[in-house]
Chain A
């Protein structure tokens, strides 16, 4: 188990405890965090689970693969250096407490 912390665009904070291996996208969708849309359900096709990862946590994430990199160019909100798809961020002991900021819009 470990926690993902979501900070919505309006500043609202929610912490979700999930089993290892659960993606941040799955956690958000299962708990009604509306700032994550996740239309494609994790196939890296839609860029609607876009998040900005808190700078302190960035080095701990698994490196981005080519499909995620390409997809982030399609994101509805501005792509930044700390942009990631939350469907590709899986809970692990390393990431317990990970903080992500939600963009203004996903579609």
Chain B
């Protein structure tokens, strides 16, 4: 199939070259046109902020129910039961989203802040004893694997399974390439652990997970839906925030003047996180599927076509952002695509904000300077961006 009336690009957003350094490809994608035909995967796509917003604002035309990865569930059987939130459309999506949105809403999360602060303070205490630490293995993962499963109400044992589980779920949004195959190795035991731990009898009273089951008792969702909705928490909420924290520390190590700004005014922790999400988005790309013939930015797009959305490209679109390649924690970041947008905007965004705000605040009070102390390795994933190892030296504040 060829598409004569749109710009065509042979960029492969799932190639190793792209994933290692996406920025030159992002620019090519943005500058090729507002809507681009991606010949490698026979799909459409955009790297521009305005067009992405238009797609997100029109879920009836650009749906999620046919999958938010490369696979088109209209043409092929989903490899696992699709997410009941991310890969569902109205009307089924509406009530589920309302239930989970309420459980994860700002008001319901306020009671978690004190626990997160205790966890962050204890972690920073340990970090300052070591000073030479890995941002992923010793900061991001232990923090997120403590506060998030605690909040959901998951037991202590086996939490490390959440990392490969999430990696597999996100890799599956790309093609069935080597990255995806690798993330499937040994996944049976990991999946069994996850399946067991979102069951009602294994969730702690007072946790967010059980609140979803209580909504099912009240008839707001079905009892069959409840465990799958809790599974969504576990698959979407760990790898993304772990990557976000690694990316944040990378940004601050490379922009020491921004760390000083944060130290001088720790209230910037919240907006700093937003700028990290804009500048180095952990969740880089996803898809929609057209439900009918449509047009976007003057380009005709037939129905039942996959549409690629590059978050990373839109977040540095110079049509939207002043000096997009500059990391500035005081920037007005509202409208960044790091949490998506529209009716499918990240339902966990408020807990993610709370987690990272609390951690950055705790670190800013104790750490004068952050330096990268050795070679880093990326944690490659078809749609996520982050580090596997990021060695840091932390200099204490006096």
Binding site for B on A (CB under 8 A): 29, 32, 37-48, 66-67, 70-71, 73-74, 107
Contacts and interface: CB of A to CB of B under 8 A. Distances in A.
Contact of A45 (B274, B335, B347): B347
Contacts of B332: 29, 32
Interface string B97-115: 1100110011110000000
Contacts of B345: 40-43, 45
A38 B334 contact: yes
A45 B353 CA distance: 12
B369 interface: no
A70 B98 contact: yes
Interface residues of B, number: 25
Contacts of A39: 270, 274, 334, 349-350, 353
Given A45-B345, A45-B347, A70 B101 contact: yes
Contacts, number: 65
Contacts of B334: 29, 37-39, 41
A46 B353 CA distance: 10
B105 A70 contact: yes
A46 B106 contact: yes
A48 B326 CA distance: 26
A38 B274 CA distance: 12
Contacts of A66: 98
A42 B106 contact: no
A46 B350 CA distance: 7
B96 interface: no
B324 interface: no
Given A29-B334, A38-B334, A73-B107, A45 B349 contact: yes
Interface stretch (B120-128, B176-184, B235-243, B336-344): B336-344
A63 B343 CA distance: 18
29 contacts: A29-B335, A32-B332, A38-B334, A39-B270, A39-B349, A39-B350, A40-B339, A40-B345, A40-B350, A41-B335, A41-B339, A41-B345, A42-B341, A43-B339, A43-B342, A43-B346, A44-B101, A45-B345, A45-B346, A45-B347, A45-B350, A46-B349, A47-B106, A70-B101, A70-B102, A70-B105, A71-B101, A74-B105, A74-B107
Contacts of B270: 39, 107
Interface of B: 97-98, 101-102, 105-108, 270, 274, 332, 334-336, 339-343, 345-347, 349-350, 353
Indicate the member of B107, B334, B339 with the most A CB atoms within 10 Å. B334
Contacts of B339: 40-41, 43
A53 to B, nearest CB: 21
A36 B129 CA distance: 41
Contacts of A43: 339-343, 345-346, 349
Contact of B98 (A38, A41, A46, A67): A67
A45 B270 CA distance: 15
A95 B154 CA distance: 48
Contacts of B350: 39-40, 45-46
Contacts of A70: 98, 101-102, 105
B348 to A, nearest CB: 9
Contacts of A45: 101, 105-106, 345-347, 349-350
A40 B98 CA distance: 16
Given A39-B334, A45-B106, A74-B106, 18 more contacts: A29-B332, A29-B335, A32-B332, A39-B274, A41-B334, A42-B345, A43-B340, A43-B342, A43-B343, A43-B346, A44-B101, A46-B349, A47-B106, A47-B107, A70-B102, A70-B105, A74-B108, A107-B270
B336 to A, nearest CB: 7
